[in-house]
A and B are shown apart, each in its own frame.
Chain A
Amino acid sequence: MKQATRSRTFVAALLAGFAVAAAVPGRAAAALTTPQMVDILKIVDDRQKNNGDWRASAYIEQKEKDKVDVVYETEYYRRSSDQKFMILFLKPKSSAGQGYLRIDKNLWFYDPSVGKWERRTERERIGGTNSRRSDFDESRLAEEYDPTDEGEEKLGAYTAQKLLLKGKSGIDLAFPMIRIWIDKETKNVLKRQEYALSGRLLRTSYYPKWKKVRSESKGGDVYYPEEIRFYDEVEKANQTLVMIKAVDLKSLPANLFTKAWLESKSR
Chain B
Amino acid sequence: MSKIFVDLTIAFRSLVQHRRRTLFLATAIAAVTALLVFLNGLTTGVRETMIDTATTLSTGHVNVGGFFKVTVGQAAPVVTDYKRVIEVAKKTVPEMAFVVHRGRGWAKIVADTGSMQMGVTGIDVRSEPKFAKVLQLVSGKIDDLAEPGTILIFDNQADKLGVKVGDAVTISAPTTRGTNNTVDVRVVAIAHSLGLLSTWNSFIPIETLRKLYQFNEDSTGVVQIMLERKDVDRNIPAISARLRQALEQEGWRVMAADPRAFWMKFQSVTREDWTGQKLDVTTWEDEISFMTWTLTALRVLSFVLLVILIAIIIIGIMNTMWIAIRERTREIGTLRAIGMQRREVLWMFLLESVMLGLFATVAGVAAGAGIAAGLNALHLHVPTGLQFFLMSPYLHISIHGSALAWSVVLITGVTTVAALYPSLRAARLRPVVAMSHFG
Contacts and interface: CB of A to CB of B under 8 A. Distances in A.
Interface stretch (A8-16, A22-30, A114-122): A114-122
Contacts of B180: 116-119
Given A117-B179, A202-B112, A235-B113, A123 B168 contact: yes
Nearest to B174: A118
Given A234-B112, A234-B162, A198 B167 contact: yes
B113 A196 contact: no
Contact of A200 (B167, B172, B181, B182): B167
B232 interface: no
Interface size class of B (residues with CB under 8 A): 10 to 19
A189 B12 CA distance: 97
A200 B166 contact: yes
A32 interface: no
Interface in A89-124: 116-124
A176 interface: yes
A197 B168 contact: yes
A234 B166 contact: no
Contact of A118 (B164, B181, B183, B184): B181
Interface string A171-199: 01000100000000000000000001111
Contacts of A172: 184
Interface in B213-230: none
Nearest to B111: A234
Nearest to B184: A121
Nearest to A175: B168
A191 B166 CA distance: 24
Interface string A1-43: 0000000000000000000000000000000000000000000
A202 B166 CA distance: 13
B168 A120 contact: no
Contacts of B162: 234
Interface in A210-267: 234-235
A119 B112 CA distance: 19
B186 interface: yes
A123 B187 CA distance: 15
A117 B181 CA distance: 9
Contact of B168 (A119, A176, A199, A234): A176
Interface residues of A, number: 19
Given A117-B179, A118-B179, A197-B186, A123 B170 contact: yes
B196 to A, nearest CB: 28
B149 to A, nearest CB: 9
B134 interface: no
A120 B182 CA distance: 5
B369 to A, nearest CB: 46
Interface string B156-181: 00000010111110101000001111
Nearest to B186: A197
Contacts, number: 50
Contacts of B187: 198
Nearest to A232: B112
Contacts of A120: 182
Contacts of A117: 179-180
Contacts of A124: 170, 182
Nearest to B164: A198
A196 B167 contact: yes
A119 B181 contact: yes
Contacts of A198: 164-167, 187
A200 B161 CA distance: 14
A59 B277 CA distance: 49
A4 B163 CA distance: 35
A267 B113 CA distance: 35
Nearest to A173: B184
B182 A118 contact: yes
Contact of B182 (A121, A176, A197): A121
A10 B168 CA distance: 32
B166 A196 contact: yes
Contacts of A118: 172, 179-182
**Which of B113, B180, B181, B186 has the most chain A CB atoms closer than 10 A to its own CB?**
B180
Nearest to B178: A116
Interface in A142-189: 172, 176
**Which of A116, A118, A198 has the most chain B CB atoms closer than 10 A to its own CB?**
A198
Contacts of B183: 121
A211 to B, nearest CB: 31
B101 to A, nearest CB: 25
Given A117-B179, A119-B179, A121-B170, A200 B164 contact: yes
Contacts of A199: 166
A206 B86 CA distance: 56
Nearest to A196: B167
**Which of B183, B184, B186 has the most chain A CB atoms closer than 10 A to its own CB?**
B184
B210 to A, nearest CB: 15
Nearest to B175: A119
Given A118-B179, A123-B184, A198-B187, 12 more contacts: A117-B180, A118-B180, A118-B182, A119-B179, A119-B181, A120-B182, A122-B184, A172-B184, A196-B167, A198-B165, A200-B167, A234-B162
17 contacts: A116-B178, A118-B179, A118-B180, A119-B179, A119-B181, A121-B170, A121-B182, A121-B184, A123-B170, A172-B184, A196-B166, A197-B167, A198-B166, A198-B167, A198-B187, A200-B166, A234-B113
Interface of A: 116-124, 172, 176, 196-200, 202, 234-235
Interface of B: 112-113, 162, 164-168, 170, 172, 178-184, 186-187
* 3 closest cross-chain pairs (CB), A and B: A198-B166, A118-B180, A197-B166
